[in-house]
Amino acid sequence: MKTDIEPGVVVIGAGVVGLSAAIAAQARGLSVTVLEREAPAAGASAGNAGAFAFTDILPLASPGILKKAPKWLLDPLGPLSIPPSYAFQIAPWMFRFWRACSARHVAHSTAAQTALMDLSKAELEPFLTQTGTADMLRKEGNLQVYESQAELNASLPGWKAREAHGVEFRHMGAADMAAIQPGLAPRFTHGTFTPGWYSIADPKLYTLALADHFRAMGGTIERAEVSGLHPIEGGVEIRTTDGRTLRAQNVVLAAGAFSHQVARSLGETIPLETERGYNTTLPLDAFDLRTQVTFGGHGFVVTRLSTGIRVGGAVELGGLKLPPNFRRSEAMLEKARSFLPGLKPAGGVQWMGFRPSLPDSLPAIGRARATPRVVYAFGHGHLGLTQSAGTARLVADLLTDRPTSIDIASFSPQRF
């Protein structure tokens, strides 16, 4: 097979994590090429809610989710669902998820998540300035709404945990909520506002801007689907599905929901699953939205982007191959119409994307077992945008053999 290129670093994946890591490596003086199976921002980086959710430190795997899950799973269009045809295949992952819901595991995951969130927040604005994207940042906060005092009370242990980790928030009643976000249905009687919740003007446009910056600084993005990695003397051999063989001194695997398939070629079985996220993006005049609103009891958010009003969220654990079930998007939009009575639902564009998720809600960041020349950076679930700048810093540290900015033992790809 012909060897086409021999760059210093090949990054696999042109989503927000992969491109952020590529830019961070480039800034350290490394020659970087990005390989992408489709196009930049083609996956979850395009259709997410656009939030830098630095206050979202509690893992999805928690005792609280265990209490809610049975009820949710009975509703095929609810906040959490597993298609019956996929239930057997996902059973081992669900067992690991159940184990990660213990109090001990949750405390460990929360501490690790907080460290990564703090790093990501500290890195974000310098990264935006470096890449010329600072004008896309918004600091409008997030309003979590509740339908009763009892629902608010049930959330208090989570807020207490956030408070212990320095997260700023304030609980409020209907009048204060209306001052922040007019137009909520009367059924929402209580809320919690977190001012430290940032967002980006549009996640797809942001990711495409990162691609443009990377190219402008001398980087190359090529379309190629990687089928396998193989350690060689002094580097890594990269095989693509079209028969090419490339070689690089180092490789960063940041291919999102497809990453575990590539890692398997190195002899590692990493329990990555797919949170299939759904949304509908409405025209900008669909609603006068002033902050991101989270309907936690129903598993979705409503976000104002520069390109429209996005209604989306929920978790469908259905893998990579099943066709989209856009009834989920329709169900969320119907609820949003009820929860925001002034919302105009016409003219929406539906979307479904794959969010790479590990059972303990922490990403895999670290070196491959087979070779230190492969660095993993995937599995961020619904926090890929949020943790992209921090992950990029850690990847650049590993590529240049510097001490990492935080302890990454909790994110070890071999922890399973």
pLDDT (0 to 100) of residue 251: 98
Question: Would you call 12 helix, strand, or coil by DSSP?
Answer: strand
What's the token pair of residue 351? 């979307």
153 secondary structure, DSSP code: H
The model's pLDDT over 177-212, given as tens digits with 9 standing for 90+, comes to 999 999 999 999 999 999 989 999 999 999 999 999
Range of lowest pLDDT (80-94, 242-256, 390-404): 80-94
Per-residue pLDDT, averaged over 144-153, amounts to 97
Question: Cα–Cα distance between 184 and 181 in angstroms, integer?
Answer: 7
Q: Cβ(326)–Cβ(352) under 8 Å?
A: yes
CA distances from 36 to 2, 23, 181, 273, 331 (A): 20, 15, 40, 20, 33
- Given a cut of 80, whether residue 67 has pLDDT beyond it is no
Alpha helices in 318-358 (DSSP H): 327-339
CA distances from 50 to 1, 305, 377 (A): 42, 7, 20
Per-residue pLDDT, averaged over 378-388, amounts to 97
Per-residue pLDDT, averaged over 288-313, amounts to 95
- Given a cut of 80, whether residue 64 has pLDDT beyond it is no
Residue-wise DSSP of 196-212: T-EEES-HHHHHHHHHH
Q: Cβ(108)–Cβ(116) under 8 Å?
A: no
- Given a cut of 90, whether residue 315 has pLDDT beyond it is no
What's the token pair of residue 81? 């669902």
- Given a cut of 80, whether residue 66 has pLDDT beyond it is no
| Closest C-alpha to 297, from 158, 145, 141 | 145
- Given a cut of 70, whether residue 257 has pLDDT beyond it is yes
pLDDT over 70 for what percent of the chain? 98
pLDDT over 90 for what percent of the chain? 90
Q: Cβ(116)–Cβ(390) under 8 Å?
A: yes
pLDDT (0 to 100) of residue 5: 47
Please, which pLDDT band fits residue 2 given cuts at 50, 70 and 90? very low
Please, which pLDDT band fits residue 6 given cuts at 50, 70 and 90? low
CA distances from 240 to 35, 125, 229, 291, 393 (A): 10, 36, 9, 44, 27
CA dihedral 334, 336, 337, 342 (to 10 degrees): -170
Question: Cα–Cα distance between 150 and 358 in angstroms, integer?
Answer: 31
